[in-house]
Amino acid sequence: MGHTANIIINEIYNLLREKTIKDIIDLETDNIYNKSAVSVIIKRYIDKNSIYNLDVLKDYKIVVKFIPVDLKYNCFEAMSFSSTSLYNILFENWDSPDVLERASLRNQLNFNYLFIPIVKIKIKGVYNNYYDWEIGDFTFWEPTRNELNLISAEWNQVKEVIKNGVVLRKVKYGKSFRTTNNLPKQSKTNFIHLRPHAKNSFDYDIPYLKYTNGAVEITKQSFWLNKKFINQLLEKYKWKKILKEE
C-alpha cells in the first residue's frame, strides 16, 4: 500500500474511531432504515468532516466493506462479491493472463480491502438500538499469494460441480417448499461459497438456464467470503497492528 493511501486511511480512522451512529447521524437527512443506511451515513459524515472521502480510495485499488460484528468481532454475515453466471464460471480460468478469461472472483481479489466493522449486540435475533452501534477498529487486507491459492482450490471445486451439473431439489420448508442445490455450502468450505444474490426468487441465471436447455432454473448466484474466514481476517490484519509495525 502506498504512503498516500496510508495517510488517507489513517485520517479516516482517527475521525471515526470509537464513534457510534448516534455521534455521526444527521436526523434531518439520514434514513437509518435503508439497507445501505449505515454505509451512506458514514460516508456522508466523512465527506463533511474530512479532507478525504472513501471514494478516493478506489484510485489506490482499495475496496471499502462495512462488516457488522459482535463485541468479539465475530461477523454476522458473509461478504458478497458481484454476481456472476454459472455459465461464465465454466469458461473461466483462475490464473489466466487474459483478464477477460480470468475468473471474475480472481479479478475482484486483485484489490485490497478496507473492512470497517460496525459493532452491534444481537439478543434473541434482535439488534440493539442503531444509535449504539459503534464503529470498530479497521482491518486492511491485502490478499496474499497463499490466501489466493487456498481460495482458488475452492473456486475450482465449485467449477467442477458446475461442470458435472448443478442439481436442484425441492425440499419441505415450513408449510411450503424451497429449492436447494448441490453447490458447496459455507458449512463445507473454509474460504468461499456460492449462494443466491438475486432480486427475488424469479431473478434467474438466464445464461446458465439457456446453457442447460431450460433444465436448471437457478437464481443468480455470487461468491461470498465465509464468515469464519472474515473473522480470521478481522483479527489478523487489524489496522492498529499495521500502524505499530510501521
pLDDT tens, the chain, 246 aa long: 778 899 999 999 999 988 999 999 988 877 777 767 899 999 999 999 999 888 899 999 999 999 999 999 999 999 999 989 999 999 999 999 999 999 999 999 999 999 999 999 999 999 999 889 999 999 999 999 999 999 999 999 999 999 999 999 988 777 788 889 999 999 999 999 999 998 888 899 999 999 999 999 999 999 999 999 999 999 999 985 444 444
Q: Is 58 exposed, middle or buried (0-12, 13-18, 19+ CB in 10 A)?
A: exposed
Q: Which pTM was predicted?
A: 0.90
Nearest in space to 179 (alpha carbons), one of 210, 162, 202: 202
Question: What is the CATH number for 12?
Answer: 3.40.600.10
E strand or H helix that includes residue 243: helix 239-245
Q: How many domains does the chain have?
A: 1
Query: What range does the domain containing 92 cover?
Result: 3-245
What CA–CA distance (Å, rounded) separates 75 from 66? Answer: 10
In b/e form, how buried is each residue of 156-173, taking b as 16+ CB within 10 angstroms? eebbebbeeebeeeeeee
Residue with cell 484489490: 111
Q: Give the pLDDT confidence score for residue 174 in this predicted structure.
A: 79
User: Which positions ≥6 away from 108 have C-beta within 8 Å?
Assistant: 81, 82
Grid coordinates 475482484 are at which residue?
A: 108
pLDDT score of 85: 96
pLDDT score recorded for residue 245: 42
CB 116 within 8 A of CB 137: no
Residue 152 to residue 107: CA distance in whole angstroms: 12
State pLDDT tens for residues 24-63: 998 887 777 776 789 999 999 999 999 988 889 999 999 9
User: How much is the pLDDT for 172?
Assistant: 78
Residue for grid cell 445501505: 36
Q: What is the mean pLDDT of the chain?
A: 91
Q: What integer pLDDT is reported at residue 240 of this predicted model? A: 56
